[in-house]
Amino acid sequence: MNVGIRNKLSSLPREPGVYFMKGARGQVLYVGKAKNLKSRVSSYFVDSKEHSAKTRSLVREIQDFEIMLVKTEVDALLLERTLIKHHQPPFNILLRDDKEYPYVRIDFSEDWPRLEIVRRRKDDRAEYFGPFSAAGSLRTSMDAIKQVFPLIRCSQWEFEHTKRVCNYYHMKMCLGPCVNPVEKSAYRAMLRDAMALLEGKNDEVVKALKAKMLASSQREQFELAASYRDQISAIDVLSERQTVMVAPDIDGDVIGLATSNDATAVHVSMIRGGRLIGGDSFTFTTTAMDVPEDPEGTSAIDETLTHFLLQYYEGRHVPLRIVLPHDLLNSDSVAVAITASGSKPPDLRGLRNLRAPWPDLVGIAQKNAQYAHDESVRGMDRRRSSLEALQKTLGLDAPPRRMECIDISNLQGTAIVASDVCFIDGHPDKSLYRIYNVESVQGSPDDYASIREVVRRRIERGVREGDLPDLLVIDGGRGQLESALTSLAEFPGLTLKIVSIAKSRIEKFHEKKSASNASASNNTSSSKPSSRAPKHSLERVFRPGIDSPVPLVPGSPAYRLLTQIRDEAHRFAITKHRKKRSKLGQKSLLEDVEGVGPKIREALLMHFGSIEAIANANLDALVLVKGVTREIAARIARKLR
């Protein structure tokens, strides 16, 4: 323990708050909360045989810590969740980033709101539902809901500029408010019912629809009553097809947990209206399970479940009951922390004093958690073996835990971009993907110069931030590798392993002769010439200072890892290159229009979304964009059409 930490420990307050454990570069290693900061933080630095190997590993890296005081334990829980999400500390349990899960977005500030599936939750006026665990199943559910409720399907621009109803109206799958008079309040109520259906509140929606059907019938609005009847029938069919009956009047989430020295898995079973409507499984490497024993009495399992609940229910629907496989010491505070403002906290408890069918449901959740855990561990073992095989193939000192691959993409020297993709433990980590816009090459393409620039910039950032990879892979052959090594030479004393991977190539042609043809050729000199077929080399890896490349045997672990990361880098580069080239092309089309400057070009693309939409817009629509007069609109139309 250094002197600075010892002095800080002596002055710690005995109050609730959050603490940050920091490494040598000031990076946040772990974020935790405590009712009593002095006793909690001090427990890390007391020699104890109770500490696990991973806790000792954490303590060895700690060079400093900071604290933030709060008023209550609930405040500490909420702040801890925010800081974990922001810093992504390696010794905290981390769910997959929310951007990987889809949300359903509804902006009720619009005149005619619509359901949208989005990947990111923005700080705007819209309401968000989710995140949902799988985009495929969400889209299936959305399609089913749109068959039940005649919601708007077209874009805002199509809605505003259409002159007649679409086929969905004739199929009775849209009310056609773009043309027909429709009550906005009735449409918004239908949207609320659709969202309740997505949340599994089928019985509540059916009950409300039956009341509306009866009221419409009493008012002799028989066509409206018939539409409510059809919606009820469709929901009944949907419920039978998508759900499993558990028990009447059962509603809540059931949590299962499985853990080992390598991984932790949590499964959430969702019960709505007595039906099992689905489940989510989450796995992460075991780190938070190994925090020191809390003097306040919180166990390692408490820490894991608390961290999970805080992250999982952020932005999600919180049911009235959440059943855990283990009683939380601080369950009341956690229940308040995960509850949206103004809502009633859920009944958060373990199995104690719970009657059937809850114990059986927890058993099911535990089985699913165990299965997810075992699958995760098997995958980790496979990736570990592959990395060890790659180490042996390339003659590395250790398995490359962090691998990155750089690929250049351009078209005749325009829109040159380089991708840098990252694999951690043999698995893609998209949060660490980067794109570089190549600045030193203009005009004709120059892969070697592009690689020199990108590798230099990557190493500069790595040295500055302390996050260099164990192995840097360059897409290309000997020349590309030498270009990367030229940039590495600008950093004397830096040990960074760099290799390049070259694609298979045609080495030579070889004769293809059948036995009969060979026999015939021996007997006659007038036989037809034999066919010539290309012979392909193996994929090859070039290493610094070694003349002969390493051939990669198809199907071998080294082949799978290196070709996977190379192909991913190529895919990522091509995607970004096409986007950049498309943007340049769109702007260049408008650059030739007199009176259209950079601001108007940007405003047009922001308003319409694409050059095609601008070309299809009429003059009245174009002049709605700020800065576009009718004369300029006419020039734009003539140019693009």
pLDDT digits (tens, 9 = 90+) for 527-584: 455 556 566 678 899 999 998 899 999 989 999 999 999 999 999 888 776 666 555 5
The answer to whether the pTM exceeds 0.85 is no
Residues 342 and 422 grouped into a single domain = no
Are 41 and 9 in contact by the 8 Å Cβ rule? The answer is yes
Distance (Å, rounded) from C-alpha 562 to C-alpha 146?
Answer: 44
CATH number where 610 lies? 1.10.150.20
CATH number where 270 lies? 3.30.420
How many structural domains is the chain composed of? Answer: 6
Residues 85 and 99 grouped into a single domain = no
CA neighbours closer than 13 Å in the CB half-sphere of residue 144: 20
Residues 238 and 276 grouped into a single domain = no
Is residue 195 included in any domain, yes or no? Answer: no
Is residue 445 included in any domain, yes or no? Answer: yes
Is residue 208 included in any domain, yes or no? Answer: yes
Residues 476 and 366 grouped into a single domain = no
Rounded (10°) CA dihedral 287, 292, 295, 296:
0
CATH number where 29 lies? 3.40.1440.10
Residues 406 and 552 grouped into a single domain = yes
pLDDT for res 456:
95
pLDDT for res 324:
92
CATH number where 427 lies? 3.30.420.340
Is residue 581 included in any domain, yes or no? Answer: no
Residues 224 and 271 grouped into a single domain = no
Q: What is the pLDDT of residues 164-179, one digit of tens each?
A: 888 888 888 888 899 8
Residues 563 and 466 grouped into a single domain = yes
Residues 562 and 428 grouped into a single domain = yes
pLDDT for res 516:
46
Is residue 51 included in any domain, yes or no? Answer: yes
How confident is the model over 378-390, as a mean pLDDT?
Answer: 91
Residues 409 and 437 grouped into a single domain = yes
Number of C-beta neighbours around residue 465 at 10 A: 10
Residues 99 and 80 grouped into a single domain = no
What stretches of 243-327 adopt beta strand conformation (E)? 244-245, 252-259, 263-272, 275-285, 321-323
Between the alpha carbon of residue 174 and those of residues 106, 109, 149, the distances in Å are 17, 20, 8
Q: Domain of residue 42: give its range.
A: 3-92
- Assign 3-class secondary structure to 338-372: CCCCCCCCCEEECCCCCCCCHHHHHHHHHHHHHHH
Residues 130 and 151 grouped into a single domain = yes
Identify which has the larger pLDDT, 338 or 149.
338
Residue 622 pLDDT > 60 = yes
Residue 484 pLDDT > 90 = yes
Is residue 438 included in any domain, yes or no? Answer: yes
